[in-house]
Structure 1
């Protein structure tokens, strides 16, 4: 059933005339008569009592008229919704963020995007990389910021942060005055780390194993500021991205690590070969463009 059949039927009913309805719709009277006849044939009922001088709906026609108005109105609303989505007049984007991210740059870009598309809304959800990846795969998030490379091959990525991981030591630590240390020199220290939802946990754990020891983890958390406070309290040491370690306000020492050196690569991730809303696609395009501009 073509939506036009219902539209023509509604207009003929409203004007009680094929001729006047045809004039209103800018079609010929034979065209609209043929459309109504086709609709009657498809439905298997007569819609109008044609035995009278005035065009009158049959009982079947009255039943169909109410439904037809609902269907046509829903179709019009759907088209409006689609026009709004395609024109970026509305939309909702769910983004996963790691709490270890210095979000100033990202939030600034988000603000610029909002100025251009004020009716698109955002849901920002803090979690570690593993949970962000899982939520994107399960369609609970549209995109996210995560440590690269992702665990799965089902993601497209765009890297925008690459920096060293530093040993973060209390000022009283025997190695605090050094410019660089071998990772193996931390084998006797107690480690304070992000919890296992964070890719950083595995990165550090695997690096320690390659250096010949299993790190003695005494505390795991999802909050970078807790790590700083615990280090200052003498509970242990940590290994953090330089930008995150720099946010700590405590009197701490950042020392370069070698053998092996550790890097942190962070980027946007989204589902590969998977449907993305118009709003999400435009946000990803806009964000990558701004990140490239800020890095040049």
Structure 2
């Protein structure tokens, strides 16, 4: 068993298809299939269930994938560290950011970082907290800005910004004169929400389960201007960061009776090597974020 074979195995497992794995690896499909066949013979184990054109991991395959992920990531970390020691690192930072934060806090920070470190390249991926966490764990992202839910021991997190989520509604809405709004009152309204996988949506879903209510979701979108437009036209109310509401200009932000406050954190894998480029990026965010933890 060698690193190359483990990479073939990992790709087939992730793609759940020999054909798609071969395309991802830029190889001929028979060569990939033969490599996996030899690996199974070498281990004297069946790693995949084969059902016509569908494949899935056996229990033994699941256990090998767990080890393969660790071995391949450790190899990539070692290669990166050795390159940096010889000055060969290209200085690429792969970072995941949530939609709302990306629209308000981060543009200025990212532009400031690029101005301060023009030799470093930023590759930015947008997504919800769960998506970003999974991409970090799988080694597809180096760093992410995520909501601290306290449920990922595999990630190291440092508090960056504290935010409050407010009820967003139009000035002529019946609840517009309230100083605060109860969760149940919010759930009783027609709602415009982010799609599943985003923290704001998870909060609403958790509240709905808590109060045993089926929320009336009129629209689902991850586009903040579209959410603002729907609320403005009276198609429902939403829950957004105070910055997103203030940016609309003509919408109101009213806090929940029990304030919904959460921490946005910089996150990376606990067991990973943090390259010099990534460390510089982390240090820059911590120094320049509006309410960074070290301030």
- Whether the TM-score (by the shorter chain) exceeds 0.5 is yes
| Deviation of 1:156 (Å) | 0.8
Aligned: 1:83 with 2:82: no
**Whole-angstrom CA distance in 1 between matches of 2:186 and 2:92:** 46
2:104–2:243 CA contact under 8 A, matched in 1: no
The equivalent residue for 1:256 is 255
**Whole-angstrom CA distance in 2 between matches of 1:121 and 1:150:** 30
1:55-94 superposed matches below 5 A: 82-85=85-88, 90-94=90-94
The equivalent residue for 1:131 is 131
**Whole-angstrom CA distance in 2 between matches of 1:104 and 1:184:** 29
Considering only CA atoms, is the larger Rg found in Structure 1 or Structure 2?
1
Distance 1:160-1:276 versus aligned 2 partners, 3 A rule:
closer
Distance 1:145-1:210 versus aligned 2 partners, 3 A rule:
same
Q: Which runs of 4+ in 1 moved over 6 A?
A: 292-295
When the two structures are aligned, how many residues end up with a matched partner?
214
| Worse overlay, 276-285 or 189-198 | 276-285
Report Cα offsets for 1:120-167 as digits up to 9, x if no partner.
111111111111111111111110111112542211111122232111
The equivalent residue for 2:95 is 95
Report the 3-state secondary structure (helix = DSSP H, G, I; strand = E; otherwise coil) of the residue aligned with 1:173: coil
1:123-202 superposed matches below 5 A: 123-149=123-149, 151-202=151-202
The equivalent residue for 1:279 is 277
The equivalent residue for 2:224 is 224
**Whole-angstrom CA distance in 2 between matches of 1:283 and 1:227:** 31
1:245–1:254 CA contact under 8 A, matched in 2: yes
Q: TM-score when scaled to structure 2?
A: 0.65
Q: TM-score when scaled to structure 1?
A: 0.64
1:184–1:212 CA contact under 8 A, matched in 2: no
Structure 2 alignment gaps of length 5 or more: 1-81
Report the 3-state secondary structure (helix = DSSP H, G, I; strand = E; otherwise coil) of the residue aligned with 1:213: coil
